[in-house]
Structure 1
Amino acid sequence: MELRYFFALIILNLSIEWVIARNNHTFPDGFLIGTASSAYQVEGAWNTNGKGPSIWDNFTHEHPYFVVDRSNGDVAADSYHKYNEDIDLLNEIGVDHYRLSLSWPRILPNGFSNRINRDGIDYYKRILNGLREKNIEPVVTLYHWDHPQILEEMGGWTNELIVEWFADYSRIVFRELGDKIKYIATINEPIMICEGYAGTEKAPGKKILDIGKYICLQNILKAHATAYHIYDEEFRAKQGGKVGIVIPCPGMFPKTEQDTEATDTGYQYICGLVAHPIYSKNGDYPEVIKTRIGENSKLQGYAASRLPELSQRWIQYIKGSYDYFGLNHYSSFLVEAVPKKNGSLWYNDCGVKLSFDPKWPTAASSWLKVVPEGFAWTLNKIRTEYENPPVYVMENGYSDTGELQDHKRIDYLQSYMKSMLKAMYQDGCDVRGYTVWSILDNFEWERGYTEKFGIVNVDFNDTNRPRKLKLSALWLKNVIRARRLEPIIDAAPIVLSL
């Protein structure tokens, strides 16, 4: 080869590598970047203007000792009264979309459709209209852990009637607010909701043997599918929105080279129990999990599996009930198989043990390890498991103790976005939106106000709940404006005068 051709080839290869590297930091046209909150965590006004009590109102009032700092969401960030200020904050940052949730008991105080709280409907109309006026796309979650307490007294998610109750609630939301919403998430994190029936860390704080969480899970799947079909059959033609569910899926890495199969089993138990019935080609629960819970149930003397069987009618009804895959991703696990001996139970119903690599950095939340490569692993797992559905990342974020100069949060977001873009450009994962959790410091469930996820600081010691942009908000503003990952900035936070 002549020398000039040799050098030309080198230059060409370098140019291609440069283009790939540049693309891996640039967001494609139409890609949505935004941030999020949920009703109970930010609204406050827990008993204002006709709102009924939710399970989290009851949980924190009746059992304050289940929350680390004995706090609650009675006032929270007071977004019920400060929603206009929050919309201005979102506009200042320049987000493409804002994910919020609706409070079921604010709309239906007693949980049923015979009593609609017009103040609740009007409150959400004002928010949705305010977002639209600022060209911010609302992404609305129908249920983010806070159903009416009266429904819980009738069994909550362990009562199959809740499928009908949720259907009635969903239909009212679609009818009253659906023309203002193009992205709808039915239910946020079913697995975490159902932990509320397996212990005292989550509302309603019931330990119903080792059965309650699986009954809860099945009813959530049925409720989601029912709401999806209601929208599809009664509202889609006129409103033209997209409906999905939001599932938490961590990354999975084998603890040893021999544990590669365990990563799939771990994924199927944490993510696949919800995702497989909806997104897989055949529907139903993952076979490996069905088998192992069934074997454990038999050994424990149950007449049937603790994971209730889905009928063929429900399998077909749930399968395909999506327009997108809503993903919450924060961290990863090391996974190892736990061998089963004759006559013994499968460990934790799935036969795998989860742990952390001690080298992984830790956020303020003990469970949140910084493992950006786990994000790409998860996106690729979804791509290969479910024929590459459209994915909207609904939550990804970092907790600290409230620093305004939150460099570690910026480092986390930058590294995770980079991993996501690599999965998109190099692996072909169909990701269409990314959402930072969260817009505000808020009530973090059983951790109260001890862990802060916000890119905006809220002073909970001040009755006015003043807000301040953190450094991460300014960084995100630059990313959105440039439509690519920008160098990490170093500047003082700005106090907004609104």
Structure 2
Amino acid sequence: MEIGGWSNNDVISHFVNFAHLAFRTFGDRVSKWVTFNEPNAMCFWGYLVGGEAPGRRNVEEAKLCVHNVLKSHAKAYRLYDAIFRPHQRGKVGMVIFTQWFHPKDPKNPSHVKLAEFALQISCGIIASPIFFGQYPDEYAEFLGRLSQKHGVVSSPLQFRLAESAELRGTWDFCGIAHYTTNLIEPTPNHEASDGLSDPIGIKLSSDPKWSSGANSSSSWQFYVVPWGFRKMLNWIKRRYGNPETYVLENGFQGHPDDGLQDYDRLEYYRSYINEMLKAVRIDGVNVQMYAAWTLLDDFEWDDGYTVNFGVVSVNFSDPERPRMPKLSGTFLKHVFKNNGFPR
């Protein structure tokens, strides 16, 4: 950050040097690599909205963050191709944060169009350059809306021909993180107040029938919508030619006082994995890996709410930190052991 973080393109060479060190040091044991985890979330929340580190609120810095992350990824991928892949035979990809946006009124063309717009901005702004070598068409419209909101003129950055060629096809798998779904509709008067909604006239909401996890943050409300996961996977299949897909984050944010009997989390995993299996077996989506997000047992958001994702309870008051599996942990153990639901 002393040189501006990801808004400074000097960071590209530093990242490539770091990637070279990692490939050389661990490549004999590591066969699958993620260059960046959720760079769309990092650049949006960190450089545009300012809700996460480094806490910047600058359109130009956010654009440069995305641009420099993509160029860093491409160079690291090509480095692996040229030097390490011939003898290590690994795979390199990226994890993109995904959230399904469903038109509030599926029969209203403006709602349908806006849902696609939101998907292209939240997900496609990273995926499209990796698959096709260029930003999605919606990128220019997004910046136009931001410019109108902030009273400044901001044009999309473009990749030079050589950069586009270097970027295109830099994936061995499409990694995604997915948790939740929102309904979406236009708000011409820019009435919404948070996150993606604020600058571009989008209103996000939920169906009253949807259950929700812990109220984690005012900037990201969590709803349990398993069918949205299936739709997200199918969207990736249609837009990007059914790539080999790794689901590397999926999980439920519950309450710390749920204890070991975390029925809501167990049901979340059961229903989401079931929808993923439908996507694979019925829809033909090329999902090759699934990882549950179970790392954190207790997590403190900036607004003071404490939530947890963990499937194993940790006694933090004991110096030995003893662990005890929750119901959800036992369930996942059987799913992973049997490569499917227990019979």
| 2:237 maps to 1:387 | no
* Corresponding position of 1:482: 338
Which structure has the larger Rg?
A: 1
Rate the CA distance shift 1:447–1:422 in 2: closer, same or farther, 3 A: farther
1:276 is matched with 128
Aligned to 1:267: 119
> What is the aligned partner in structure 2 of residue 224 from structure 1?
73
Corresponding position: 1:373 with 2:227? yes
The whole-number CA distance in structure 1 between the counterparts of 2:112 and 2:280 is 24
**Which amino acid is the alignment partner of residue 297 of structure 1?**
S
Task: Give, in whole Å, the separation in 1 of the partners of 2:305 and 2:175.
Answer: 26
**Is 1:411 aligned to residue 267 of structure 2?**
yes
Q: Which residue of 2 aligns with 1:455?
A: 311
Number of equivalenced pairs: 328
Contact 2:39 2:69 in 1 (8 A): yes
Determine which of 170, 188, 194 is the counterpart of 2:19. Answer: 170
Report how far residue 476 of structure 1 moved: 1.2
1:398 aligns to what?
252
Aligned match of 1:86 = none
- Name the CA shift for 1:347/1:340 in 2 (closer, same or farther; >3 Å): farther
Question: Hey, what does 2:193 align to over in structure 1?
Answer: none
CA offsets, 1:448-488, max 9 Å, x none?
Answer: 7811101111223333332221111111112222322137x
Which of 438-447 and 450-459 deviates more?
Answer: 438-447
> Where does residue 204 of structure 1 map in the other structure?
54
CA 412–337 in structure 1, closer or farther in 2 if over 3 Å, else same:
same
- 1:104-183 mapped onto 2 (5 Å cutoff): 152-183=1-32
Distance 1:174 1:325 in 2: 19
Stretches of structure 2 that go unaligned for 5 or more consecutive residues are: 191-195
Q: Which has the higher contact order (CA 8 A, sep 6+)?
A: 1
Q: Distance in 1 between matches of 2:334 and 2:197?
A: 47
Classify the secondary structure of the residue corresponding to 1:461: coil
SS where residue 185 of structure 1 aligns? Answer: strand
Q: Is the 8 A contact 1:332 1:369 kept in 2?
A: yes
CA distance in 2, matches of 1:340, 1:236: 52
SS for the counterpart of 1:427 is coil
Native 8 Å contact 1:247 1:327 kept in 2: yes
Q: 2:97 aligns with which of 234, 243, 248?
A: 248
The normalised TM-score by structure 1 is: 0.62
Give the direction of change, closer, same or farther, for the CA distance of 1:193–1:292 in structure 2 (3 Å limit). closer
Residues 145, 200 of structure 2: 8 Å contact kept: no
In the alignment, which residue of structure 2 is the partner of 1:320?
169
Q: Is the 1:265–1:352 contact (alpha carbons within 8 Å) kept by the matching residues of 2?
A: no
Q: For residue 462 of structure 1, what is the amino acid of its counterpart?
A: D
Retained in 2: the 8 A contact 1:278–1:318? yes
- CA apart distance, 1:260: 1.4
More deviation, 248-257/160-169: 248-257
State the alpha-carbon separation in 1 of the partners of residues 237 and 38 from structure 2: 19
Aligned-pair identity (%): 39
Unaligned regions of 5+ residues in structure 1, if any? 1-151, 488-498
Superposed CA offset, 1:16-58 (max 9, x none): xxxxxxxxxxxxxxxxxxxxxxxxxxxxxxxxxxxxxxxxxxx
Matched, 1:441 2:297: yes
2:212 matched to 1:356? no
